[in-house]
Structure 1
Amino acid sequence: MKSWLGLLMVLPFALSCSYRSTANDQTGQVARDLDASEERCVQDRLLKGWGLDLVDLAVDLNPEEEIAVDMAIELCRLGPGGSPQESLIPNDQPQVSENLLRSPTVFDPTDQAPGEDPLLDALWFACGDGDAISCDELFYSAPRDSTYEQFAFSCGGRKNMDCSLLLGREQPEGALTSLTPPPGEDEDLDRWWSLCAEGSTRACGELRLIAPNQSLYAQFGMSCGARGTSYCALILDDDGEPPTLRSLTPDQNPPGQDQLLDQLWELCGSRDARACRDLSKFAPIDSLYMQFGVSCGGRAVAPCARLFADLKA
């Protein structure tokens, strides 16, 4: 119970960078941008999801209330009642902005950082120097549709692909390799580990879906059997989808066990890569929430932003 209380206290702040409204940082302006039905939807979401009874969205809000309002607005604008609108594009064909897709033609690794944020500038320079981890951190920390985000998505003006695979990652001494034997803690997980080590994308995906989050098993599955990337389909022959993935679909209803995680679930199902990442990060281990986030909303076990871009291309 204490761990859950801690999660609920930390989670809103951890999500603040990912779910800022793009309309305007001034709450009054955001409220004026809502029509009557959207405002009712937002107020209903706030009451049910956060227990906030905000009659006037134009009043001064504290930071936690602003985060809640931003998320509620984004959910309500998915469609009536917060449900994704019907689209001519199937759920397995997510959209990625054209700015992201053409980033490699716009940037160069030696480009200077925008100078708008010291922390993001530092990640920019590290990404430009070829540090894959910094590229990933920059992408998920940068404001939406920003120059920072575009630079990170292209691995520092290089190519739209998994940055770890493109740039490589320095492996510490004693790190996992594809020859590392299974830990021997769970017979079923050990079996999937061995198959993943042999090059089965199906097994690596299943291992990531069913292994406890942050465990050695999960790390091995996410790294495609310690092969330096989390996008197995780029380097291994696809031998089928993981069995657990068959029970997940993008339009699947959230479990209803936690209101905030349910909000992230809906955003992830509607092709929000940041929401998928946060869901897999903050959800309880061995939970359906975690599996939904890891699988990019029931689509595939892969880096979600890269997967969505590939499906768009």
Structure 2
Amino acid sequence: MNTRRMFAAVLLAATSCSYSSDSESRTPALTNNLTEQEQLCVEERLASGWELNLSNLQTDLSPEQEIAVDMAVELCRLDTATNPTLPSFRNDQPQVSDELLEAPVTFDSGDNPPGTDSLLDDYWLQCGLGEAKACDELFYLAAPGSAYEQFAFSCGGRRNMDCALLLGIEQPEGDLNPLTPAPGDDEELDSWWTLCSEGSTLACGELRLTAPNGSLYAQFAATCGARGTSYCTLILDDDGEPPTLKDLSPSLNPPGDDEFLDQLWLLCSETDSRACKDLTKYGPADSLYVQFGVSCGGRAVAPCARFFADLISSSS
């Protein structure tokens, strides 16, 4: 972010100094030799910031407008040089590979780890022994398409489902339980907490979407009211969609406040479960970024990798 801002500032100063009053002779060169991707990028930047389009750039431009064109061209060339084009996927066809879906019959809980990464090997062994958290960590850290990823996704060669629900998680003494009273710090969140504790999937989802990330409220909601899984509809009757989810959708544009988070947003919208998780992890605690990540790109409050896999199963 800081590097990009510094680049823009330097570029602005440079273009200001090099501005010539002869706009007609200079303007056509500004947008010459653009690739199709660069041209689309320039069009979008100019249309949103200056209400300009490439078709009218042959007319006289003000000094400020010419600087804007210069900046748009240079920034778009930088973007296309450093950022690969994101693949385009249909949102109704989640990208979960056949290898992941077939992992329960490919692997057995007693299989030896590949031996190519000591940390992942350790998580593999723990996952094989039935440690749900180790399976989740292994899945998150493993390279896409690897045996590590497949073993973790199947909860150690068992089943393709929420490992916390399948294997159970030991709760340290003093942890939350469904009867834990609401913290009392926020009246609205306390109301959702109470309903979530009573078994409302809608309330658990709304609490997860609206509570500050990392808070006790969010922790309670993320485990369906301390019930040991983040996939509430697997264990509770689905009583509807959280109200906040209605304002989110996979086609929603990223906020534009942070380039890294915007990239994660776009990947999450294309059913990349890791991007959704990273968006939840790195987004500001009470931001739209976190809500988008938590909701699997505006789809559902659920563990995204499992949710995307279930979408495939239900459509096949």
Give the SS at the match of 1:221: helix
Distance in 1 between residues matched to 2:258 and 2:308, nearest whole Å = 26
2:190 equivalent in structure 1:
190
In structure 2, stretches of 5+ residues that fail to align are 3-33, 43-70
CA drift of 1:168 comes to: 0.5
TM-score normalised by length of structure 1: 0.75
1:20 equivalent in structure 2:
none
CA drift of 1:286 comes to: 1.0
Amino acid of the structure 2 residue aligned with 1:287? S
TM-score normalised by length of structure 2: 0.75
2:227 equivalent in structure 1:
227
Give the SS at the match of 2:104: helix
Amino acid of the structure 2 residue aligned with 1:117? D
Q: CA RMSD in A?
A: 2.7
Amino acid of the structure 1 residue aligned with 2:122? A
User: What is the percentage of aligned positions where both structures have the same residue?
Assistant: 63
Within 5 A, what are the aligned runs for 1:116-131?
Answer: 116-131=116-131
In structure 1, stretches of 5+ residues that fail to align are 6-35, 58-68, 79-83
Distance in 2 between residues matched to 1:122 and 1:113, nearest whole Å = 8
CA contact (8 A) 2:95 2:272 kept: no
Distance in 2 between residues matched to 1:52 and 1:130, nearest whole Å = 49
2:144 maps to 1:147: no
Change over 3 Å in CA distance of 1:150–1:220 after alignment to 2: same
Amino acid of the structure 2 residue aligned with 1:277? K
Distance in 2 between residues matched to 1:249 and 1:268, nearest whole Å = 11
Change over 3 Å in CA distance of 1:55–1:192 after alignment to 2: closer
Change over 3 Å in CA distance of 1:108–1:195 after alignment to 2: same
2:161 maps to 1:136: no
2:53 equivalent in structure 1:
none
Amino acid of the structure 1 residue aligned with 2:115? G
2:145 maps to 1:166: no
Q: Deviations over 1:234-269 (max 9, x none)?
A: 100000010000000001111111111111100000
Q: Deviations over 1:10-53 (max 9, x none)?
A: xxxxxxxxxxxxxxxxxxxxxxxxxx969969x99xx99xx797
Give the SS at the match of 1:182: coil
Within 5 A, what are the aligned runs for 1:200-211?
Answer: 200-211=200-211
Within 5 A, what are the aligned runs for 1:81-100?
Answer: 84=88, 87=90, 91-100=91-100
CA drift of 1:108 comes to: 0.4
Change over 3 Å in CA distance of 1:169–1:55 after alignment to 2: closer
Give the SS at the match of 1:183: coil
Amino acid of the structure 2 residue aligned with 1:199? G
Change over 3 Å in CA distance of 1:294–1:56 after alignment to 2: closer
Amino acid of the structure 2 residue aligned with 1:223? T
2:47 equivalent in structure 1:
none
Distance in 2 between residues matched to 1:114 and 1:290, nearest whole Å = 34
Q: Give the number of aligned pairs.
A: 254
Q: Deviations over 1:64-106 (max 9, x none)?
A: xxxxx5xx22xx142xxxxx35x4xxx2441310000000001
CA contact (8 A) 2:107 2:151 kept: yes
Amino acid of the structure 2 residue aligned with 1:225? G
Within 5 A, what are the aligned runs for 1:1-313?
Answer: 69=82, 72-73=83-84, 76-78=85-87, 84=88, 87=90, 91-313=91-313
Amino acid of the structure 2 residue aligned with 1:241? E
Give the SS at the match of 1:111: coil
